Amino acid sequence: RIGHMTDGSCHFLANCSLYKKPFLEYYEETPLLVAVLTYMGYGILTIFGYLRDFLRHWNIEKCHVAREREEQKDFVPLYQDFENFYTRNLYMRIRDNWNRPICSVPGAKMDVMERVSHDYNWTFEHTGKVVKDVINMGSYNYLGFAENTGACADAAVECTKKYGAGVSSTRSEIGNLDIHEELEQLVARFLGVESSMAFGMGFATNSMNIPALTGKGCLILSDELNHASLVLGARLSGSTIRVFKHNNMQSLEKLLRDAIVNGQPRTHRPWKKILILVEGIYSMEGSIVRLPEVIALKKRYKAYLYLDEAHSIGALGPNGRGVVDYFGLDPKDVDIMMGTFTKSFGAAGGYIGGKKELIDYLRWHSHSALYATSMSPPVAQQIITSMKIIMGEDGTTLGADRLSQLSENTTYFRRKLHEMGFILYGNDDSPVVPLMLYMPAKIGAFGREMLKRNIGTVVVGFPATPIIESRARFCVSAAHTREMLDTVSASAALHC
């Protein structure tokens, strides 16, 4: 059912009736010389790290990290010194590439506050200067709704005047507003499901709702590259967790078959539930879930499917309705549809959509629903306005235009980088574009050199990625122009 090219660089589907068009994803293997040099680089950094730790131990070099006080030396250590080795000696060298403060709307361009460090990145101070018009290739602003002008901003201002900035209560007490009800009805209509529920935090949507759906005696099958919120939710549930290889249907089917045949460990009783956890777009790999095959396996083995569309809702599909829309599938085939409002909608929070019985159950059993303060009214209004624009209910073609522009920008930018000879990961249609850097020294150098040319990028290394797969991750937006994308690709060619 799945074919592989001989060089291992591209995975594609051959003669699969589940797909209406070719499904192309690129994962070129790390060249041997690059892998050897990368391991050597980390090895040298590790050796110098141990040397510096030795000097810190004897107070020859000043130690800036949290340590136990002398009078607490007989206590059980609060800080695991060895476990922070990577942070002290490797991450600290390139720490200036993260947590950069910006002082403008994070749109296609942004303003970044300049800062310097006089102690090798242990502390920073602001110079008072601002780097203007930095091209923003790091925000998940897929449709360009992160803006302070236009219909969304105007509606949010009016909503703030009417309701205020916060509710100061939970939904189950005095925090349930009519605007929350309107939002949930709109989300259900947008997704094509019976009902939906909105939450104030995207991370908590996963971590607090999965424990409400599964527990002891249940089995969770999780993709190995799932987001930390899914992993945390699965662990908090108390369910048995088994991990399958990323987007590998043979691996998933083997786990499903074994679960049906063998049942629970020791007792061999049937599992109470089997829940498959997958994402729409994997934010670090730029890959798209093989949803038609996952649904086929889910139906065959009578499991449940939990789909996290944080990065795909609003960013994929002809109508912007995510990976289900992208593949032309029926939303009813996905048992739990989860997504966030933090990316394509330029807002905050998350949602879960599905059958009415499911949502009614979560309203009374989800910790996030019962104990968390309800969503801020202007945030809810931002979501409502942007979603109506995407759906075309504002009477304009602005939403359709932005969806089309995002698709064009994604295709153009990926093709441009491919032609320049860069090694990219992920699906051709994914607006998340990982560009492979590999070597540890390149992580810091690439981020700094790009900022010098007024380009803000996200660089990622171990432990967020495998040790020999460090990368720069570009996020394409409908707000980007061709000139911006050309500038980014040309600058990347100079410093990669």
Q: What is the pLDDT of residue 70?
A: 78
Which amino acid is it at 43? G
More confident residue, 23 or 314: 314
Q: Region 279-302: what's the mean pLDDT? A: 96
Q: What is the pLDDT of residue 8?
A: 43
Query: So what's the pLDDT on residue 12?
Result: 47
Average pLDDT, the chain: 91
Q: From 391, 414, 445, give the residue that closes a domain.
A: 391
Q: Is residue 233 included in any domain, yes or no?
A: yes
Burial of 219 (0-12, 13-18, 19+ CB in 10 A): buried
- Domain check: are 406 and 304 in the same one? no
Provide the pLDDT confidence category of residue 1 given band limits of 50, 70 and 90: very low
Residue 128 confidence (pLDDT) above 80: yes
Provide the residue range defining the domain that includes 81. 27-136+396-495
| Residue 5 scores a pLDDT above 50 | no
Length of the chain: 496
Same domain, 118 and 158: no
Q: What is the mean pLDDT of residues 413-426?
A: 94
State if pTM tops 0.85: yes
Q: Looking at the predicted structure, is the pLDDT value of residue 101 above 50? A: yes
Q: Which pLDDT score is estimated for 281?
A: 97
The mean pLDDT value for 410-429 works out to 94
Q: How far apart are CA 21 and CA 24, in angstroms?
A: 9
Q: Which helix (H) or strand (E) holds 426?
A: strand 426-427
Nearest Cα to Cα of residue 431 among 413, 404, 458, 457: 413
pLDDT per residue as tens digits for the range 405-417? 999 999 999 999 9
Q: pLDDT value at position 71?
A: 82
* Burial bucket for residue 258 (CB in 10 Å: 0-12, 13-18, 19+): exposed
Q: Considering just the CA atoms, what is the radius of gyration of the chain in Å? A: 24
pLDDT over 50 (residue 2): no
pLDDT of 445 above 60: yes
Angle between helices 398-419 and 377-391 (to 10 degrees): 80
- C-alpha 141/C-alpha 478 separation (Å) is 8
- Confidence class of residue 16 from pLDDT cuts 50, 70 and 90? low
Q: Classify strands 350-354 and 195-199 as parallel, antiparallel or unpaired.
A: antiparallel
Query: What's the confidence (pLDDT) of residue 3?
Result: 36
How many structural domains is the chain composed of? 2
285, part of any domain: yes
Does residue 407 form part of some domain?
A: yes
Supply the pLDDT for residue 6.
31
CATH number for position 369: 3.40.640.10
- DSSP category for residue 125: E
What is the Cα–Cα distance from 454 to 154, expressed in whole angstroms? 30
8 A C-beta contact, residue 234 and residue 212: no
- Is 415 within 8 Å of 409 (Cβ atoms)? no
Nearest-angstrom CA–CA distance, 358 and 351: 13
Pair 221, 369 in one domain: yes
Of 72 and 270, the structure prediction assigns the larger pLDDT to 270
Judge whether 155 lies within some domain: yes
Dihedral sign, Cα of residue 137, residue 138, residue 143, residue 147: negative
Sign of the torsion angle spanned by Cα atoms 368, 284, 492, 418: negative
Q: Which DSSP category does 475 fall into?
A: E
Are residues 293 and 200 part of one domain? yes
**10 has a pLDDT exceeding 70:** no
Same domain membership, residue 315 and residue 213: yes
**Measuring CA to CA, which residue among 410, 425, 430, 413 is closest to residue 490?**
413
Residues 6+ apart with CB under 8 A from 286: 424, 425, 426, 427, 430, 432, 433, 434, 473
- Amino acid 18: pLDDT: 84
Point out the domain boundary residue: 371, 391, 411: 391
Inter-residue contact 234 to 277 (CB < 8 Å): yes
Give 360 or 67, the one with higher predicted confidence: 360
pLDDT of residue 145: 96
CB 177 within 8 A of CB 167: yes
Of the candidates 391, 414, 443, which is a domain's last residue? 391
User: Over 50: is that where the pLDDT of 36 sits?
Assistant: yes
The C-alpha atoms of residue 325 and residue 281 are separated, in whole angstroms, by: 13
What is d(CA 26, CA 425) in angstroms, rounded to the nearest whole number? 5
Beta bridge partners of residue 125, listed in sequence order:
116
Per mean pLDDT, which range of 79-88, 198-207, 465-474 is the poorest? 79-88
Strand partners, 275: 220, 304
The pair of structure tokens assigned to 251 is 């691996």
Q: Give me the pLDDT at residue 496, please.
A: 59
CA–chain centroid gap for 123, Å, is 28
| pLDDT-based confidence at residue 181 (cuts at 50, 70, 90) | very high
The answer to whether position 231 is within a domain reads yes
Single-letter code of the amino acid located at 37: L
Residue 111: CATH number of its domain: 3.90.1150.10
Whether the pLDDT of residue 182 is over 90: the answer is: yes
> Is residue 479 scored above 70 in pLDDT?
yes
The answer to whether residue 10 sits within a structural domain is no
Question: Mean pLDDT, to the nearest integer, of 227-245?
Answer: 96
Q: Are residues 327 and 475 in the same domain?
A: no
> Which tokens in the block code for residue 495?
């410093």
Please name every residue paired with 460 in a beta bridge, in sequence order, or none if there are none.
Answer: 471
Residue 4 lies in a domain: no
Whether 442 and 341 share a structural domain:
no
